[in-house]
């Protein structure tokens, strides 16, 4: 069989390297500049995310940034809400008054206590519920709905419900302790003193937030590789050790998100205080938002109330950033 000799392609011009025919014959390399249409397409691709984000940012600016800026402006004035009234610039006087106000300091202490109780309580109980619902239990969908039902229920409704439960006369809790179990001789004035009222508020906060925490952690649990649990089980680790050494490290970022959101929410507690205790007795259960509300609308201290709101906004911002930085540093250290 005679071999067919290979014939090299003829160059188009003398001295030029041979070129293959077809649509890919035009040389394309890293040094080739994109055409005008290519640059336009690239610019459109870079601008596309900002175009989609623009409506949300405009809404965010209208709903949040503009009111924050206005409240900051009002906090530097002795602001009068009457038409034609003259607003006197007082500088930092409202802020110095807030830091020297014992009622404001008490409200901050109450908010910190509320945070220290409700945030760990919601995380621990929410994690327990998420681990329970992760298993294939009969009626699991029904339990998910029941645990999440308090989250979608109005704060007004649940606050009035808990006010009835913890009422001194005719309250269900006192009836259960006095008549049902017989462990107490007289009803307890749950909402009549500072720490018992704070206990009732914390119980409401934990109960209402367990469902939300459980749903977020349950979503995080779906991302934990099953191979890690299987490998730990082969090594002889029990359920508790697998949860501590496998599940929790895998949920680190989810737990960070949950803790930051819960801290922000704990400093935003307002409706339950307003409806259950009204800040009483004698302002001992005030929190910063309820205190700012009372000073603003009961005593028309708009400048002072705005200063309190600005201070708490900065406190929450610093706490959120601090939590994130500490968590990221701990993760990098490992």
Give the whole-angstrom CA distance, residue 104 versus residue 308. Answer: 8
The confidence score (pLDDT) of residue 24 equals 46
HEC string of 168-232? CCCCHHHHHHHHHCCCCCCCCCCCCCHHHHHHHHHHHHHHHHHHHHHHHHHHHHCCCCHHHHHHH
Burial zone of 213 (CB within 10 Å; 0-12 exposed, 13-18 middle, 19+ buried): buried
The confidence score (pLDDT) of residue 267 equals 92
pLDDT < 70: residue spans in the chain = 1-36, 38, 333-334
pTM of the predicted model, to two decimals?
0.80
Is the CATH number of domain 94-333 1.10.3720.10? yes
Residue written as tokens 């496998």?
A: 246
> What letter would DSSP give residue 89?
E
**Domain ranges, ordered by start, for the chain:** 94-333
Give first-to-last CA distance, the chain, whole Å.
Answer: 70
pLDDT digits (tens, 9 = 90+) for 46-67: 888 888 888 988 998 888 888 8
């Amino acid at each position: 069989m005679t071999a067919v000799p290979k014939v090299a392609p003829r160059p188009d011009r003398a001295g030029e390297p041979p070129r293959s025919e077809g649509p890919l014959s035009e040389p394309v390399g890293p040094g080739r500049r994109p055409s005008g249409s290519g640059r336009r397409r690239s610019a459109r691709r870079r601008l596309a995310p900002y175009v989609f984000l623009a409506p949300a940012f405009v809404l965010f600016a209208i709903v949040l940034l503009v009111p924050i800026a206005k409240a900051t402006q009002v906090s530097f004035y002795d602001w009068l809400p009457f038409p034609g009234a003259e607003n006197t610039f007082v500088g930092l006087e409202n802020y110095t008054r807030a830091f020297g106000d014992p009622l404001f300091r008490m409200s901050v202490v109450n908010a910190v206590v509320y945070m220290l109780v409700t945030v760990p309580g919601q995380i621990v109980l929410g994690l327990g519920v998420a681990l329970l619902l992760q298993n294939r239990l009969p009626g699991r969908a029904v339990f998910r709905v029941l645990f999440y039902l308090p989250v979608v229920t109005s704060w007004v409704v649940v606050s009035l419900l808990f006010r009835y439960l913890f009422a001194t006369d005719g309250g269900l809790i006192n009836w259960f302790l006095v008549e049902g179990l017989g462990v107490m001789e007289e009803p307890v004035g749950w909402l009549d003193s500072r720490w018992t009222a704070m206990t009732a508020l914390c119980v409401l906060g934990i109960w209402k937030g367990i469902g939300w925490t459980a749903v977020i952690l349950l979503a995080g649990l779906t991302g934990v590789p099953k191979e890690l649990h299987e490998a730990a089980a082969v090594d002889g680790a029990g359920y508790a050790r697998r949860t501590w050494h496998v599940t929790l490290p895998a949920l680190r970022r989810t737990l960070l998100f949950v803790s930051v959101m819960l801290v922000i929410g704990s400093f935003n507690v307002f409706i339950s205080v307003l409806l259950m205790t009204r800040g009483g007795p004698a302002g001992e259960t005030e929190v910063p938002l309820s205190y700012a509300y009372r000073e603003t609308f009961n005593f028309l201290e708009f400048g002072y109330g705005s200063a309190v709101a600005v201070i708490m906004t900065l406190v929450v911002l610093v706490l959120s950033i601090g939590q994130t930085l500490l968590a990221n540093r701990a993760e990098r250290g490992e």
